Structure 1
C-alpha cells in the first residue's frame, strides 16, 4: 500500500506542473519478450515535459513507472515463485545548454528505485550521463560522452557516442553506442524506424538468497527492432514494435555484483504496442 501511495503521489506532482510547461507527453507501453525458458512481459507508464530557459538552455523531465512480470514456463516445482514480479520508479532530469552556436552539452541525473515488492531506501540508485554534441555541418552532428548506466544490467560507467546524419526532411541516420536508429517519415503522420540498442536493468531482491547470497536480479540484451508510429488523430499516437533480443542474459548477483546464478533464459523475439498523448 505504501509503494502504491508513493507512485501515485509522484505522478500527481508531475501532472500538476504540466500546464506551466511548453510541451509534454504521456505514454503507456506494453511489451512481451518470450524466450526458450522464460517469458518476460512489461508495462510502462511515463510522463515527459520540457521547458526552455531563455534562448540557449532548456530542461526536461521524465517520470516513469514500469512493472516487469516473469513467467518461468518450465518450472513444475514453482522454484522461482518469489522472483516473478519487479518494479521500477525512475525520474530522469535533463539540462542542456549551448556552449557556442555549434556546440552543446547535456547533463542527465536519473534517481531510480528498483525493487520486488518492498520499497526501501537502500533500493535507491543514481544514474546519469554527460554528453557534448558538435555540429559538423548543417546535416551532421557528433555526440560523445559517458554515463553511469544499466545497459549491461548492473550499474557501471559506459561510453556514449553517436554520429547523427540528417539526409533530408524524411530520413535521419543515428549510428552509435549504446543506441542506433534509422528513421524515415513518408508524411506528417507516419514514422518508420529501424533501431539497435544495448539495454538492461537491475532489481534489488526483497531478501538475500541464503543459498548463493544473491541480492540483485539483472537483465541485459542487444535488441534490434522495427518500429512504427502513427499519428491517429490530433495529439494521439499509436506505436508498434517488433524485433529480436540477442545475447540475452538474466542473472543473479551478490552485493559485489559477482554473478552467482545464471537462468540461461536464451534469446527471443520482442513485441510491443503503445499509446502516446503529445503536444
Structure 2
C-alpha cells in the first residue's frame, strides 16, 4: 500500500513542475508538430538535468536545460526563412521552497535563459529572465493528499513575457486516480499499477526568442523577436522500466497555436499559419535518487 502511494506521488506531484519539487535526475523529450501542405511545421527536443538539496524546512532545486527548435516553412513563403529555421534555448532554473508550517509552503523560482537563433553570436538581447512565486496550502491525508496553489509568474505562455496567474488544485481521488485543475496546466492521472500510468493533459506553453539579426519580411516592418504559443490536449503513457529508468510516449491535438514575428516593442509584424493538427511526443527519464 505504501509503495502504491509513493508511486502516485511520483506521477502526480513529481510531474507537476510548479506544485512540488521533482526528483533528481535527467530527462530528454522529442516533440513533433507535422507540417501541413500550406503552413509551418515544427519539431523540438529538450534535455533537462536537475538536483535537489534538502535543508530541512528549506529545499533548493537547480535545473539546467537545453531546447532545440526546428521550423519548416511553406514553399510559397515570400522571403528567405533561413535565419528563422532553427532556435536554441540554454536555461538554468533555481526553485526555492520553504515550509512555514505543516500545511503551508512558500515557493519562488527564477530562470535565466539564452534564447535565440544566435545569428550574430551572443548578445544582451539573447538573455531572457522569467520567474514567479506562490503559496501552497496542503491538505487531505497521507493516503489522499491535496494542495491548493496560488501565485503569479513572469512567463512566456502566450509567446511573450508577461505576468500570469499561477493557480491550481491537486487532489488524489483514490488509489488509481489523481487530478490537477488550474493554469497553465490541467491534468488527470490514472495509475493502475507500479509499472505504468496514463495521463490526459490540457497544457498552455510558449517561447520567446531573439533574432540575432533583424529580419525584414516585407518592405514596411522589421522583426527582432519571435513568439510561439500553443494550447495542446494530449494523452501520455509512462512506463517504468526499473528503479532508475522510465519512458513515455504521447499523442494529442494542437488546439490553437500562434507563431509570430515581433518588432522591438513586441508588436506583431507577421503571423505564420499553424493549423490545428495531431501531434506526437516521446521521452526518457533517469531517476538518480534510486
Q: TM-score, normalised by structure 2?
A: 0.84
Shift of residue 48 of structure 1?
Answer: 1.3
Q: Counterparts of 1:214 and 1:23 in 2: how far apart (Å)?
A: 40
Q: Counterparts of 2:98 and 2:201 in 1: how far apart (Å)?
A: 27
Q: Aligned with 2:83: secondary structure? A: coil
The partner residue of 2:266 within 252, 257, 269 is 257
Deviations 1:210-247 (A, max 9, x none): 44121111100111100111112331111111111112
The partner residue of 1:153 within 131, 145, 159 is 159
Calculate the aligned-residue CA RMSD, in Å.
1.7
- Counterpart of 2:209? 203
1:122 paired to 2:125: yes
Q: Aligned with 1:122: secondary structure? A: helix
- Counterpart of 1:236? 245
Q: Counterparts of 1:158 and 1:147 in 2: how far apart (Å)?
A: 5
Q: Counterparts of 1:69-84 in structure 2 under 5 Å? A: 69-75=70-76, 79-84=80-85
1:29 paired to 2:14: no
Change (3 A) 1:268 1:134: same
- Counterpart of 1:179? 185
1:219 paired to 2:225: no
Q: Greater shift after overlay, 27-36 or 101-110?
A: 27-36
Q: Counterparts of 2:28 and 2:79 in 1: how far apart (Å)?
A: 31
Change (3 A) 1:234 1:78: farther
- Normalized per residue, the structure richer in strand is 1
Question: Do 1:197 and 1:222's aligned partners in 2 also have CA atoms closer than 8 Å?
Answer: yes
Q: Counterparts of 1:67 and 1:249 in 2: how far apart (Å)?
A: 18
Q: Counterparts of 1:98 and 1:233 in 2: how far apart (Å)?
A: 32
Q: Aligned with 1:181: secondary structure? A: strand
Shift of residue 170 of structure 1?
Answer: 2.5
Deviations 1:65-106 (A, max 9, x none): 011000114347673122100000111110001112111111
Q: Counterparts of 2:227 and 2:33 in 1: how far apart (Å)?
A: 15
- Counterpart of 1:134? 137
Q: Greater shift after overlay, 72-81 or 181-190?
A: 72-81
- Counterpart of 2:4? none
Question: Do 1:249 and 1:266's aligned partners in 2 also have CA atoms closer than 8 Å?
Answer: no
- Counterpart of 1:163? 169
Change (3 A) 1:152 1:76: closer
The partner residue of 1:48 within 47, 50, 53 is 50
Change (3 A) 1:23 1:180: closer
Question: Do 2:107 and 2:135's aligned partners in 1 also have CA atoms closer than 8 Å?
Answer: yes
Gaps of 5+ in 1: 1-21
Question: Do 1:154 and 1:257's aligned partners in 2 also have CA atoms closer than 8 Å?
Answer: yes
Q: Greater shift after overlay, 128-137 or 251-260?
A: 128-137
Q: Aligned with 1:269: secondary structure? A: strand
